[in-house]
Structure 1
Amino acid sequence: MRWTEEQRCLLWLSAAEISADRVRRMLEKRETARALWEDFAQGVALTSNAEATRTLGRFHSETALDALCERMEKLGVTPLFQDDPAYPALLGCIDDPPYVLYVMGDVSALSRPSLAVVGTRYPSAYGRDMARTLAFGLARAGMGIVSGMARGVDGCAHEGAADAGGSTVAVLGSGVNVPYPMENIGLYRRIIAGAGAVVSEYPLDAVPQTYHFPHRNRLISGLCYGVVLVEGRHKSGAMITVNTALDQGREVFAVPG
């Protein structure tokens, strides 16, 4: 696959995990990612983070970018950019959409009408059954199911959708080639092999960091028309997703119990 010069420069920024908000603000001043590439070559600091600056330097060559692109192709990773027709329209409407969205699996799954099913990592038997049952029924009705592939409610929701032969999208807090948690490696493979996708705004090989997960939750809600909460504490990742959904003008539902 061939990417434009501008897209390659966006991949370069993404490799250093420069945030969507930071890139948006830089592009407001310099207009193109290529201009930022040229600024960096002239010694302009694009970030105060030393590790990110080293990564920008490591990938600041056409040869390094070629190798990165070839590796993505070998792994079956599709990067979507905001000007790409396949970029999910709902996600593009949030305040800080990813400038690169990495996808493994069925890219079209991101544009299907979807609901997010989220909740605690330690659900009751009722919560596990409810997550599977809801996801199964919604998937059978043609609705995509989006969640974060965490243990507990997330995993049950993905399993329910897959059992129904439906579409499910897992939004990771790591690179798409770094399944997390490892206990869900079988589910990860099942999603990619089926009518679903694994997605992330983080680059290849990015390991999960604590701060990644609250930030990625805006993507879970951003891909969907609404969010269903199945068991969750007041201060939890699931509630962060509920709050981002409300901020984005999405519908929010809760399972009684």
Structure 2
Amino acid sequence: MMFLSKNKFGSKLYDLIGNLAINLNTLDLRDNQIYGVIPERIGQPTGLTYLTIGNNSLEGSIPNSIGKLTNLVRLVLQENNLSVPKKGVFSNVTKVSLIGNKKFCGGISQLKLPPCLKVPSKKHKRSLKRKLIIISVFGGILISFIAFIIVQFLLRKSKKLPSSPSLQNRALRVTYGELHEAFNGFSSANLVGTGSFGSVYKGSPLNFERPIAIKVLNLETRGVAKSFMAECNALGKMKH
């Protein structure tokens, strides 16, 4: 027999029990602040009839060696975070009573215990982290690609629009009479400047949204025709 209850050892059960005697029939370790898992060696004394390790901080699965103890009469495990196996004595609901053990999980369905939550392994965590990184990278690439497509679409759309109303106005036809009226008979009030080949006037024809300037050539001046062609070529090469 071994009675060690209520000593507040605060250690692991594996370090506490050491090598148990084979002929031990009673083991009482309740209320000792024991933590960790229950080692398999606890079932080595095959003649064990009373095993009490309740009110501690044990976790993990109840060893199968306990389920193989055929002489076991009393097993107390309450107030521990333990998962119940499905083999040995735990497979027979008539020989197992777990009433009041709200922290237990697993076992056969007849025990009506909640399922045990699976703690993800380190390998699973690394795999999950790797997947999250891959998803983040591809997500960033996809967002960048969509943004690029949108920018290209907007640029192409803007190129199709007329740059300004003045470009539309240059295709309008204006008669000499309309110009003569708009520029007040090319009076000095509309005169902007005078050059060697003619004079420049400013006016506002009815068909134009903005004022325009025109040049009236002096055909009596020598070389005026050549100057006119040169100016036309220069204006034709300009981009508005």
- Taking structure 2 as the reference length, the TM-score comes to 0.22
Between Structure 1 and Structure 2, the one with more helix by share is 1
Who wins on radius of gyration, i.e. which is larger?
Answer: 2
Query: Which protein has greater RCO, CA pairs closer than 8 Å, 6+ apart?
Result: 1
Could you state the TM-score of these two structures normalised by the residue count of structure 1?
0.20
